[in-house]
Chain A
Amino acid sequence: MEFIRNFPFFSILLSLGSGVLTSIMNKKTARLWNTFILAAITVMSAVLFVYMLEVGEPYTFMMGHFPAPWGNEIRAGVLEAGMALFFCLIMLFSLKGGQEHIDAEVEETKVNLYYIMINLLLSSLLALIYTNDLFTAYVFVEINTISACGLIMITQSGRTIEAATRYMIMASLGSGLLLLGLCILYDITGHLLMSSIKQSILYVYAQGTYNIPLIASIGMVVVGLAIKSALYPFHTWLPDAYGYSTVSSAAILSSLVSKGYIFLLIKIFFRVVGFDIIVDSKIVNILFVFGLFGMIMGSVNAILEHDIRRMIAFSSVAQIGYIYMGLGLGTTMGIVASIFHILSHASTKSLLFVAGVGLTDASGGSKKFEDLTGSGFRNPAAGIAFTIGACSMVGIPLFSGFISKMLFAEAAVQNSLAKMLPTMICLAISTVLNAIYFMKTVIRLYTPASKKVRKTQAGEAAAVSMREHPLYHLALLCMVILNVLLGCCSQPIVDWITSGLSMFG
C-alpha cells in the first residue's frame, strides 16, 4: 500500500489531535499552530487529489484491525479528495481574511477556544467527506453542529447568542430526524456501512417487504439534513447568525458547514440508497419544490434588507435553494451542476463576506447601506473584490456563477417538461432578482459620497491602504483567483466531478 493512501486518515486524526493540543496553548501559538495544521492538511489533500487523478480508482481504508462489515472504514475517491482540498483552501482564506477581526472581536483569553472550534470543524468536515459509515457520519454531524454553534456565538453579543440558540433548536430537530431515519434504515438492513447497506437495500427493494419503512427512513434522513443545511422554510436562524458573528465565522459557516451536510446527502443518495431508488421514490420532487421556493424567497428577502451582511446572508438562502433544486432534478447532470454550485457558491460567498467587511470598516464599522455610499473609493481592493463576487453571483461570464447557472439550465433542458419549465422560469426570475440587489449594492459602492456624509466619516474612516493589511489583501486576491479559475477552466472541473460521481456508485 502506498504511503499517500494514509493521507485521509492522517488529515482527520491530525485535525482532531490538534484541537486537543490547542486547548493548552496561548493566543499566538494557537494561531500559528492552526495555520500550520491547515496548510499541512491542504498540502496533503492536494497530493492525494493529484494521486487519485492518476490512479482513477477509489479505495477504502480500514480504521482498525477488522475488515469491511465489522470495523469502521473510510473511503477516498477523486471527488472526495478534491472536495477536501477545496474546503481546506476556503477555510484557510477566510480565516486569514478575517484574522484582524478575530483578534479584535474575540476575548483575549478565549481565542484559543476559537481555534479549537476551527480544528474540530475541519476534522468533522473531512470525516463527513471521507467516511464510509453512516453512524460515524451522525457523530461527526453532531461535532459539526456544535462547533458551528461555537463559531456563531464567539463574539458573545445578545444577537449572536440568540441566533446560536435558534440554530441549536433547528439543528437538534434535524439531528433527531436524521438519527431516527438511520435507526429505521439499520433495522431493515442490519448494516451501518454504506456499501453493505446498499447491497441489502437492493435486495430488500427487490423483495418489496419493507418498502414503506425504506421510503420513510430515506425521507427522514433527507428532511433532517435539509433542516440542518437551512433549506428555505427552515432558514430563520441564518440571517442573524451570519449577519452578526465575526467575519471568518460567517464566511466559514455559509460556505462550508451547510455544504458539508449537502455533500453527505449526495453521498447517501449515491452510496447508500442508490440513485434509481431515490428518483423512483419521488422524494426528489419535494426537494425540487422547496429548492425553487428558496431561490425566489431568499432573493426577495435580500432585496428588502438594509444591512449588507444580512443581505449576503439571505442570498445564501437563495443559493442553497439552487443546490437543492439541482438535486431535485433527479438526473446525474443535475447533481453535477449542484456540486459545481457548491464549489462556486463557497468561493464566491466567502469572497463577498470578506470583501464586505473591508467595505464596512472603511465606513466606520456601519453595515447600513446609507453609510456605505462611496466606500468603494475608500477601500479600492475590497470594492473591486466585492464587485467581482457580485458579478459571479449574478452570473456574468468569466466568473464561476455563470458556469453553474449554465449547468443548471443544461440539466433542466434534458429533463421532462414538467420540471424544465418551472426551473427555467425560476432561474430567470432569480437571476433578475440577484442582479437587482447585487447591482444596487455595487452602484452604491461607487457613488461618490455627498459632502455631508464625507465630513462625518472623515474622522473615523481613512482610506485603507494595502500596506497596512497585507494578509487581508492576499486572502482577497487568492479568493478572486480561485473564483476566476472556476469560471474560466470549468471544463476540466466538470469532467472531474462527473468522473468522481461515477466512482461513487
Chain B
Amino acid sequence: MGGNLLANYGEAVAMILFGIGFSNLLLQKNLIKKIIGLNIMDTATYLFLAEKGYIAGRVAPIVVDNVTSVEAYINPVPSGLVLTGIVVSVSVTALMLSLTIRLYRKYHTLDMDEISTMLKKEEE
C-alpha cells in the first residue's frame, strides 16, 4: 500500500463510485437502473480527471488581468477532456434510453433476463 491514499481521498471516492456504477451495470436487472449505473460510472471517471487537474491555491484557467504565468492557474487539460467525455456519455444515454423504449414496447418488461427468456420461448 502506498502512502498517498489519505491525501488522494477525492480520487478514492471517485474509484468507489466507479465500482458502484460498474456493479449497477452488471447486477441490476432493470434497464433504467443499468443506465443510471452507466452514468454514475462515467461521472466518477470525470471526477477522477477533474481531481487530477486541481492544484491547491490556484484558480480556474480563465485569464484575468493579462496574467499568464503558470503559477496562477490550474491545469486546463483535464477540464477539456471531461467536456468531451460528458457529450459522449449524454449521447450513449440517449441511445440506451431509446433502446429501452423500443424493448418495452415489444416485450412489456424492463428486465433483461425476462426478455431473453421470452426470446427463447419465441424460438420454440
Partners in one complex: yes
Which residues of chain A have a CB within 8 Å of any CB of chain B? 135, 139, 142, 146, 149, 153, 156, 158-159, 161-162, 164-166, 168-169, 172-173, 176, 179-180, 183, 186-187, 192, 212
Known pairs A156-B102, A158-B106, A186-B77 / 17 extra A-B pairs, C-beta < 8 Å: A139-B88, A142-B88, A142-B91, A146-B91, A146-B92, A153-B99, A158-B119, A162-B103, A162-B115, A162-B119, A176-B22, A176-B25, A176-B38, A176-B45, A179-B45, A180-B45, A180-B48
Smallest CB gap from A187: residue in B: B52
Let me know if A168 and B81 touch, CB within 8 A: no
Interface string of B77-88 (1 = CB under 8 A from A): 110010011001
Let me know if B48 and A183 touch, CB within 8 A: yes
**Given A162-B103, A162-B119, A165-B31, do A135 and B96 touch, yes or no (CB 8 Å)?**
no
Question: Using Cβ atoms and an 8 Å threshold, which residues of chain B touch A164?
Answer: 99
Interface string of B14-41 (1 = CB under 8 A from A): 0000100110011000010010001001
Question: Using Cβ atoms and an 8 Å threshold, which residues of chain B touch A166?
Answer: 112
Cα–Cα, bound, A345→B91 (Å): 32
Question: Using Cβ atoms and an 8 Å threshold, which residues of chain B touch A169?
Answer: 25, 34, 38
Is B9 close to A, CB under 8 A?
no
Let me know if B2 and A212 touch, CB within 8 A: yes
Q: A-B pairs with the 9 shortest C-beta distances?
A: A158-B106, A176-B41, A165-B99, A142-B88, A172-B38, A161-B102, A179-B45, A187-B52, A183-B49
Smallest CB gap from A240: residue in B: B119
Question: Using Cβ atoms and an 8 Å threshold, which residues of chain A touch B122?
Answer: 158
Question: Using Cβ atoms and an 8 Å threshold, which residues of chain B touch A139?
Answer: 84, 88
Let me know if A176 and B106 touch, CB within 8 A: no
Question: Using Cβ atoms and an 8 Å threshold, which residues of chain A touch B81?
Answer: 135, 186
* Interface SS majority for chain A: helix
Contact of B26 among A153, A159, A173, A183 (CB under 8 A): A173
Is B116 close to A, CB under 8 A?
yes
Question: Using Cβ atoms and an 8 Å threshold, which residues of chain A touch B102?
Answer: 156, 161
Cα–Cα, bound, A192→B80 (Å): 12
Contact of B22 among A149, A161, A165, A173 (CB under 8 A): A173
What distance in Å separates the Cβ of A197 from its nearest Cβ neighbour in chain B? Answer: 13
Cα–Cα, bound, A180→B45 (Å): 6
Cα–Cα, bound, A212→B3 (Å): 13
Let me know if A186 and B99 touch, CB within 8 A: no
What distance in Å separates the Cβ of A261 from its nearest Cβ neighbour in chain B? Answer: 16
Question: Using Cβ atoms and an 8 Å threshold, which residues of chain B touch A142?
Answer: 88, 91-92
* Interface SS majority for chain B: helix
Q: List 30 A-B contacts (CB under 8 A).
A: A135-B81, A135-B84, A142-B88, A142-B91, A142-B92, A146-B95, A153-B99, A158-B103, A158-B106, A161-B99, A161-B102, A161-B103, A161-B106, A162-B103, A165-B112, A166-B112, A168-B95, A168-B99, A169-B34, A169-B38, A172-B25, A176-B18, A176-B22, A179-B42, A179-B85, A180-B18, A180-B48, A183-B45, A186-B49, A186-B52
Let me know if B119 and A165 touch, CB within 8 A: no
Cα–Cα, bound, A156→B78 (Å): 39
Contact of A168 among B49, B85, B96 (CB under 8 A): B96
Let me know if B92 and A168 touch, CB within 8 A: yes
Cα–Cα, bound, A180→B85 (Å): 12
Let me know if B107 and A158 touch, CB within 8 A: yes
Cα–Cα, bound, A183→B51 (Å): 11
What distance in Å separates the Cβ of B35 from its nearest Cβ neighbour in chain A? Answer: 9
Cα–Cα, bound, A156→B31 (Å): 19
Question: Using Cβ atoms and an 8 Å threshold, which residues of chain A touch B103?
Answer: 158, 161-162, 165
Question: Using Cβ atoms and an 8 Å threshold, which residues of chain A touch B119?
Answer: 158-159, 162
Cα–Cα, bound, A158→B119 (Å): 9
Smallest CB gap from B49: residue in A: A183
Let me know if B95 and A149 touch, CB within 8 A: yes
What distance in Å separates the Cβ of B119 from its nearest Cβ neighbour in chain A? Answer: 6
Cα–Cα, bound, A168→B94 (Å): 12
Smallest CB gap from B18: residue in A: A180
Interface string of B58-84 (1 = CB under 8 A from A): 000000000000000000011001001
Question: Using Cβ atoms and an 8 Å threshold, which residues of chain A touch B31?
Answer: 165
What distance in Å separates the Cβ of A116 from its nearest Cβ neighbour in chain B? Answer: 14
Let me know if B48 and A165 touch, CB within 8 A: no
Cα–Cα, bound, A176→B24 (Å): 13
Cα–Cα, bound, A159→B121 (Å): 12
With most chain A CB atoms within 10 A of its CB, the pick from B2, B95, B122 is B95
Question: Using Cβ atoms and an 8 Å threshold, which residues of chain A touch B49?
Answer: 183, 186
Question: Using Cβ atoms and an 8 Å threshold, which residues of chain B touch A186?
Answer: 49, 52, 77-78, 81
What distance in Å separates the Cβ of A268 from its nearest Cβ neighbour in chain B? Answer: 18
With most chain B CB atoms within 10 A of its CB, the pick from A135, A176, A187 is A176
Smallest CB gap from B2: residue in A: A212
Question: Using Cβ atoms and an 8 Å threshold, which residues of chain B touch A192?
Answer: 77
Cα–Cα, bound, A94→B119 (Å): 29
Cα–Cα, bound, A162→B122 (Å): 13
Let me know if A172 and B92 touch, CB within 8 A: yes
Cα–Cα, bound, A162→B45 (Å): 28
Cα–Cα, bound, A162→B107 (Å): 10
What distance in Å separates the Cβ of A107 from its nearest Cβ neighbour in chain B? Answer: 14
What distance in Å separates the Cβ of A174 from its nearest Cβ neighbour in chain B? Answer: 11
Contact of B42 among A149, A162, A176 (CB under 8 A): A176
Cα–Cα, bound, A142→B88 (Å): 7
What distance in Å separates the Cβ of B101 from its nearest Cβ neighbour in chain A? Answer: 10
B 89-114 contacts with A by CB, 8 A: 91-92, 95-96, 99-100, 102-103, 106-107, 112
Question: Using Cβ atoms and an 8 Å threshold, which residues of chain A touch B88?
Answer: 139, 142
Question: Using Cβ atoms and an 8 Å threshold, which residues of chain A touch B25?
Answer: 169, 172-173, 176
